[in-house]
Structure 1
Amino acid sequence: MTTRVSAYISLPGQTAEAFTHWHEVFGGELNILKYADQPMEGMPFEPDPNAVAHATLNFPGGSIAGGDSMDPENTYPVEGTAYSLLVTVDSPEEGRELIAKIVDAGGEVGMPFEQAPWGDFYGSVFDKFRVMWSFSTS
């Protein structure tokens, strides 16, 4: 059996913009499917045709999936939780470059990317969608 774990993120109407931004930062292959792009018969709810039904970003070493949140009355916090997406990089320089791309696009550093007590470099950044990305060297 082959098991693979990927992150799935629901964002309130920002999924297309967020995945496009992450594609600019990390590269890879981006696919965005809106509800208007698929048959709507049999749906248990009436989605906005322009909402993202499913998005995937596949890049070397990982993937992220997501969609627009369909429950406007119960939004889930993106920031202020115990969750982050961990990106393991080959070098401190690569980590700094990726963090700079996120910060330059409207993000902010949560924890400076510096050498940690265990010897690797580690730090975190919040992107403009308030998703926390943690970076570590291998």
Structure 2
Amino acid sequence: MPSLATYIALPGTTAEAFNHWHEVLGGELQILTYGDMPMPGMPFEPDPNSVAHAVLKTPGGELAGGDAEPGGDYAVRDTAYSLLYTADDPDEAREIIRKFVDAGGAAGMPFELAPWGDWYGQVFDRFGVMWSLSVPASEDWRERAEVAGA
């Protein structure tokens, strides 16, 4: 069956980032280094400890990635590296944001009811990746937000 996953190349921090995302989001993590699978004939000589391929499978989808090729200029902390995570409820999304911030990330856009009616906010993790958090609004959550003054 065909599938589509987001792939992200990081500047030598893939293993750390994927382990962190696994702690925050849960799921199943697989990390394969170049040392795990020697590949003769590569156009560059990879560090055997560099990540050749990582996959984080969560209930909502997959995120894949690897360490950037040596000499590659991969800028992070830009919305070019942004991921959208849709949570089941606002409390779950707030908890994800808290975990990212507590681990060295920075809040971006406040998580609140957006003009289009859903909950939405942004946080940058400690690797510079922007995570957009979204929760489809329900009448119950809207009523609780109005009572709380959100």
Q: TM-score range by the shorter chain?
A: over 0.9
1:119: Cα distance to partner? 1.2
Report the TM-score, using the length of structure 1 for normalisation: 0.93
Kindly report which structure 2 residues correspond to 1:2-81, keeping only aligned pairs within 5 A, or say none.
Answer: 2-72=1-71, 74-81=72-79
1:88: Cα distance to partner? 0.6
Secondary structure of residue in 1 paired with 2:108: strand
Using the aligned pairs only, state the percent identity.
65
CA separation of 1:46/1:24 partners in 2, compared to 1, >3 Å: closer, same or farther? same
Determine the structure 2 residue equivalent to 1:115. 113
1:82: Cα distance to partner? 4.2
Higher helix share: 2
1:132: Cα distance to partner? 0.2
Contact 2:46–2:70 at 8 Å: present in 1 too?
Answer: no
Structure 1 residues 58-102: Cα deviation after superposition (integer angstroms, max 9, x where no partner): 010111000000132x31222223441000111111110111111
RMSD of aligned C-alpha atoms? 1.2
Structure 1 residues 81-134: Cα deviation after superposition (integer angstroms, max 9, x where no partner): 344100011111111011111111000111000111111110000000000000
1:6: Cα distance to partner? 1.1
Q: Which amino acid aligns with 2:18?
A: F
Secondary structure of residue in 2 paired with 1:19: helix
Determine the structure 2 residue equivalent to 1:105. 103
Structure 1 gaps of 5+ residues are none
Q: How many residues align?
A: 136
Higher strand share: 1
- Distance, in Å, in 1 between the alignment partners of 2:106 and 2:84 is 16
CA separation of 1:26/1:116 partners in 2, compared to 1, >3 Å: closer, same or farther? same
